[in-house]
Amino acid sequence: MYQEVHTHNIVERAYAPEVADLLRRFDRSAQAASGGALFEDFSAELLSFCSRDIMIMAPTGTGDYVYEHFGRDIARHVGGDRTGERVSNMPPQTARFTIACYDGALASGKPLYSIHRAVKTVRVSLWERLVLPTTSADGQRRLIVFSKPLHFHEELLTTVLDTSPAGIVALRAVRDVEGNIERTVIITANRRAAAMAGAPEGTLIDAEGRQALPFLADDTVWRRCLYVMELRRGDMFETRHAVDGREVWLQIALAPLGDGLVMTLTDISELMLANLTLQSRAATLALEIGKERATRRALSHEIGQREEREQELRRLAEIDPLTTLLNRRSLIEKANAEIAAGEARGEETSLFIIDLDHFKQVNDNHGHAAGDAVIRAFADLLLSQMRLGQDLVGRLGGEEFAVVLPRTGAREAQRIAERLREALHRTHLPVSEALDLQVTASIGVATRQPGEGFAAFVARADKELYRAKNEGRDCIRCAEGDIAAAA
């Protein structure tokens, strides 16, 4: 399993921009409290702005750790919430590495940064972690762990790697203490690349680059790879090597990727043989061959662009790009399906329509970028207050949001709405490192009546929203009875 551990020069090694900010906050907290960072204050500070990328780990006293908090984005990437689980439940090699990192951070009392492979597959799935040791007021130790995918491409990347006629290899540089590249490690390679290297499928991952890829043994090719990694400029060239006694010609395209590079390998052996045969032919024939190559490249480029556009259109069809909540159309489709299922089961469904108060003043006073930041922060708060896996949360447009609450009657809906309003009162929404804002919201609540269509259902909740706006804002109005909570 590929892995790195660092306790020095962390900011220079890290990819996520949040790492530098977290280290500054940790140093400030550690200086303000004797005995290192105080868990209660420091965890509250971090959870207020980056909880979705944070894990809180508690040692069990038996050489293991328990997840006390598991960030939403981490859960989305790994496929589930691990709160309450133990690190030892992970695959053995990953668990040993993780526990060793956590033990080291607790023993030293200093931040620790690591990079490791989560799952050994052709998918690029490297994670970076910043481990921050803290101490509770009662003397108990805790770790606050910032964890984020370093490179993570979804099904499209896996499909491209598996089906590409070209070999694709990604390498990461391993540097010495002076920052010089001493070797590379293969972090992903598809089946075609393994075949070109004369290696069994799956054996290239985590191997040393020059040992596993025979064409990298050529000093000229290796120097060109070093130039790409150091100068951050792409390159393309042709080379040849022997595989199982057969001479293979490759066209190699190099592109920088993080602290490493990506190789695209095209087997041009047949083309080189044809070129040798065609050298005696007329210049016009050579020109036609050049045009054909250009056409193939242009066609391949166009197909790639079309696939990217189709993928983006499918994503945009369901997701609001600013908040990653459901967009209006997707929310309506899913709500109608949920209402039909609930009606068949004889269950009630409730609905919130939410509008941020005086939002125009945020844009006027702080700019539209600040307004977008407030909308994103409110969306995160809204998701945190709703029931994961049950409620449908969407953005209708602008500063207006909607929540569909299946299996929820009027009384329970009113209680959840009040809980949301109180949470908003307690929270300053972060706009930037130097600015956060206190905002309020008006909420209209309705519970679906038997046989009621979705449009009429929304209209009743929307009517209550306007009543809340007209009656002073920062309050809740319910179609099934007032529980108004004035500011």
What are the residue boundaries of the structural domains of the chain, listed by start? 3-152, 155-273, 281-316, 328-478
| Model pLDDT, residue 487 | 33
How far from 434 is each of 364, 437, 438, CA to CA, in Å?
Answer: 18, 11, 14
pTM above 0.85, yes or no: no
Taking each helix axis from N to C end, the angle separating 368-385 and 359-366, rounded to the nearest 10 degrees, works out to: 140
How do the residues of the chain divide into helix, strand and coil, expressed in percent and rounded to 5? Answer: 45, 30, 25
> Average pLDDT for residues 381-399, to the nearest whole number?
93
Write out the two tokens for 244. Answer: 């199982």
Average of pLDDT values for 302-328? 82
Question: Given pLDDT bands bounded at 50, 70 and 90, which one contains residue 179?
Answer: confident
Average pLDDT over residues 8-30: 91
CA distance 459 to 362: 27
Q: What is the number of other CB atoms lying within 10 angstroms of the CB of residue 164?
A: 15
Q: Where are the alpha helices (DSSP H) in 10-154?
A: 10-13, 18-32, 39-50, 72-78, 92-108
Supply the pLDDT for residue 122. Answer: 41
For the residues of 332-390, what is the DSSP string, one character each?
HHHHHHHHHHHHHHT--EEEEEEEETTHHHHHHHH-HHHHHHHHHHHHHHHHHHS-TTT
- Environment class of 342 (CB within 10 Å of its CB; exposed 0-12, middle 13-18, buried 19+): middle
Q: Which CATH class is domain 3-152?
A: alpha beta
Q: Do domains 3-152 and 155-273 have the same CATH topology?
A: yes
- CA 410, 412, 418 angle in degrees (round to 5)? 100
- Inter-residue contact 278 to 252 (CB < 8 Å): no
Tokens of 173: 């540089």
Q: What is the pLDDT of residues 103-141, one digit of tens each?
A: 999 999 999 999 887 654 444 467 899 999 999 989 899
Mean pLDDT in the chain? 88
pLDDT (average), residues 334-363: 94
Whether the predicted pLDDT of 244 surpasses 80: no
Highest mean pLDDT among 53-62, 74-83, 161-170: 53-62
Topology given in CATH for the domain delimited by 155-273 = Beta-Lactamase (3.30.450)
- 328-478: what fold? Alpha-Beta Plaits (3.30.70)
- What is the mean pLDDT of the segment spanning 333-349? 93
Structure tokens at 310: 């189709």
